[in-house]
Amino acid sequence: MEPAERKEFDSVIAAIIKRSVASEVFNWLEEKAILIREENGARHLNLAFAAITRKTGRQLIKIAEEEREITKKVHSGFSVDDWTTDRLSRLWLLMQTDASDKNNYCAKIENLFNGAEMHELAALYSSLFFFKYPEEWQQRCAEGIRSNIGIVLEAIMYNNPYPSKYLSDLAWNQLVLKAFFAEKNVNRIIGLDRRANKELALILVDYANERRAAHRLVNPQLWRLVTKFIDESNFKNIEEAFKSSDVKEKKAAALACFQSNYLPAKNLVESEPVLKSEIVENKLNWNLL
Amino acid sequence: MCCSNLDEERGSQKGNLIPVDLESIKGMKFFDPHVHMTSRTTDDYQAMFDAGVVALIEPAFWLGQPRTGIDSFRDYYSSLIGWERFRSSQFGIKHYCTIGLNSREANNEKLAEQVMEVLPLFIMKEGVVGIGEIGFDDQTPAEEKYYRLQLELAKETELPVQIHTPHRDKKRGTRRSMDIALEHGISPDTVIIDHNNEETVKEVLDRGFWAAFTIYPFTKMGNERMVEIVKQYGTERIMINSAADWGISDPLAVPKTAALMKARGISAENIEQVTYRNAITAFGKSGQINEEDFVAAQNIDQSEKFEGNTVLRGGQQPRIDKSSIIIS
């Protein structure tokens, strides 16, 4: 983030918090912010970060329309609408940490991750995009994807601009696969379409086969990530999905084929004019599925 | 195990079989303030939920063999407030913990010093309801040293103290634990003395402390004996727990004892005191317990969704039917 953007974002977050908590709580946060900005060590950061929920509680924040527009400047998919007071306060405190000494700063943040309780972890992962030295957090993000704690996974996956911008293909693929495995709402993953890649498409096709062989349903959103990579090696799989008795899967296959450049796939959609016109009229798309 | 009178005792247990019938306590809520869930399976969580346990406290303890490095402690504390807490939420049970350096491992002084450095980072975390389980085991000077240091920490942070009383030389160890707590100026109504029995209960109650009883086969309290204790001493400042761990123990000790109490004529209000209310009052002094957070206590329709996401935000596990040989 550019300094000016960061400053604007910082003020907006502070304003939302101020509206959402009692005035003495906000005063406490501001006091801690000063101490955190000035300290070389991490004592105030550690204590304040842990103590947040005792002060702010955990309720939904109250956000004004203008504020929402400013948060969207971060990324169109980014949102704090469903954040709670403790999480937003933690993000704000983290943003106050002095980052001039890279090693010192990174060590402080890493240390918070290492001792984090479940909600602190979720707050930290939600805040990844707002840490300085963004490339430094790739390993940590990848580690978070290995977690099985529901709210941690959701913090990384949902409306978070960090992963799609900074993760390698390998780590990104793991995120998407984990989302399917853990039955998360993949529509909320920022960059899902932009970061589709061939390797991921192949793995997902195999995964679809595995599910089908086990007589289990396949998440129709899976085909969204295969569409650009349909070719003779995997076409048979999409044909199977197209012929599926599961209506959602059939529609997903139709969408994927329609968006594909592979001729046999396009021809397949032609064989179902009703579906095709639904797609053309935008009555059927990935978000409506 | 060779002692013949113990074998005889175990043999006689079989004669006292009263089938488990938790119907009589259906609808009651239970709070187990001492249970080591890291050593229990998801079957236990499921059974506890079904029996009406809505919340529990997991005290920090040893893992069956001594730890050899500070990282083991740190990772363990981390798991109590992280993974184990989440695991519990998946079964609709709210998980709290106490954190501290236990009496056994206080004997490794070099390591104990390092643990004392790390404790302040953890004890102020959300959901940490006390310093525990601390106290005496063999009653060595090292154990005393770290017990005292942690009492000071409790005073500083205004957290309740959960005290493990020794299993050997219990009467004197319990008395000594109380003496030292009072010496440090700790108010007894913020201290829970655990693993009580017929020999310790009077003094613990007389001196103003909370008296917790562990219903645990063979080595600790039995629930028929517990019924007698409640009939004799009433319910003030008395609570029960299972202390279920990796040994032969029963995570349903609290609901089963409630059922037994009901069958033996103890009133519903009194049962509620010792199996729910008192524990919440005592540990609630940490400011960390809010009954509204007890997910299972709210009659949430499992199928209810909010904007496509299940209301039970912990991500509750689907049920499996253990009576079937089919696994799928």
Residue B92 within any structural domain of the chain = yes
Q: Mark whether A153 and A239 lie in a shared domain.
A: no
Residues of B in contact with A79 (CB under 8 A): none
Number of separate domains in chain A: 2
Residue B160 within any structural domain of the chain = yes
> Taking 70 as the threshold, does the pLDDT of residue B192 lie above it?
yes
Q: Mark whether A4 and A119 lie in a shared domain.
A: yes
The average pLDDT across B198-220 equals 96
Beta strand pairing call for B309-310 and B305-306: antiparallel
Cα–Cα distance between B58 and B84 in angstroms, integer?
A: 9
Measure A116 CA to nearest chain B CA, in Å: 7
Residue B319 within any structural domain of the chain = no
Residue B71 within any structural domain of the chain = yes
Contact flag A185-B308 (C-beta cutoff 8 Å): yes
Q: Mark whether A146 and A202 lie in a shared domain.
A: no
What is residue B307's predicted lDDT score, i.e. its pLDDT?
A: 41
* Pick from A51, A148, A150: CB nearest B124: A51
Beta strand pairing call for B210-214 and B191-193: parallel
Two tokens at A203? Answer: 């793995």
The average pLDDT across A143-162 equals 96
DSSP class of residue B212 equals: E
3-state DSSP percent of chain B in helix, strand and coil, to 5: 45, 15, 40
Question: What is the extent of the structural domain holding A219?
Answer: 196-289
| pLDDT > 70 in chain B, percent | 88
Using one digit for the tens of pLDDT, what is the confidence trace for A57-70?
999 999 999 999 99
Domain harbouring B143, CATH code: 3.20.20.140
* Pick from B74, B77, B86: CB nearest A118: B86
Q: Mark whether A116 and A201 lie in a shared domain.
A: no
CA A208 to chain centre: 23
Of A142, A160, A183, which residue sits at a domain end?
Answer: A183
Number of separate domains in chain B: 1
Cα–Cα distance between A245 and A284 in angstroms, integer?
A: 18
Q: Mark whether A25 and A161 lie in a shared domain.
A: yes
Q: Mark whether A179 and A206 lie in a shared domain.
A: no
Using one digit for the tens of pLDDT, what is the confidence trace for B257-310?
999 999 999 999 999 999 999 999 999 999 999 999 997 655 544 444 444 444
Using one digit for the tens of pLDDT, what is the confidence trace for B36-62?
999 999 999 999 999 999 999 999 999
The average pLDDT across B89-97 equals 95
Question: What is the extent of the structural domain holding B261?
Answer: 27-287
Read off φ and ψ for residue B55, nearest 5 degrees: -160, 160
User: Are B165 and B200 within 8 A, CB to CB?
Assistant: yes
What is residue B301's predicted lDDT score, i.e. its pLDDT?
A: 45
Residue A189 within any structural domain of the chain = no
Residue A123 within any structural domain of the chain = yes
User: Are A276 and A269 within 8 A, CB to CB?
Assistant: yes
Residue A161 within any structural domain of the chain = yes
Which of A89, A117, A187 to probe the B interface (max B CBs under 10 A)? A117
Residue B308 within any structural domain of the chain = no
Q: Mark whether A100 and A24 lie in a shared domain.
A: yes
Lowest mean pLDDT among B63-77, B156-170, B180-194, B303-317: B303-317
Q: Mark whether A264 and A175 lie in a shared domain.
A: no
Q: Note the ipTM here.
A: 0.85
CA angle, residues B291, B292, B297, in degrees to nearest 5: 80
Cα–Cα distance between B16 and B13 in angstroms, integer?
A: 5
Q: Mark whether A260 and A155 lie in a shared domain.
A: no
Of A183, A218, A237, which residue sits at a domain end?
Answer: A183
Residue B311 within any structural domain of the chain = no
Residue B43 within any structural domain of the chain = yes
What is residue A144's predicted lDDT score, i.e. its pLDDT?
A: 96
Q: Mark whether A37 and A115 lie in a shared domain.
A: yes
Residues of A in contact with B125 (CB under 8 A): 50, 117, 120
User: Are B30 and B52 within 8 A, CB to CB?
Assistant: yes
Residue A190 within any structural domain of the chain = no
Cα–Cα distance between B220 and B170 in angstroms, integer?
A: 11
Of A136, A154, A183, which residue sits at a domain end?
Answer: A183
Residue A188 within any structural domain of the chain = no
Q: Mark whether A286 and A203 lie in a shared domain.
A: yes
Q: Mark whether A102 and A170 lie in a shared domain.
A: yes
Residues of A in contact with B85 (CB under 8 A): 117-118
Residue A42 within any structural domain of the chain = yes
Cα–Cα distance between B42 and A164 in angstroms, integer?
A: 35
Residue A74 within any structural domain of the chain = yes
Residue B233 within any structural domain of the chain = yes
The average pLDDT across B70-83 equals 96
Residue A191 within any structural domain of the chain = no
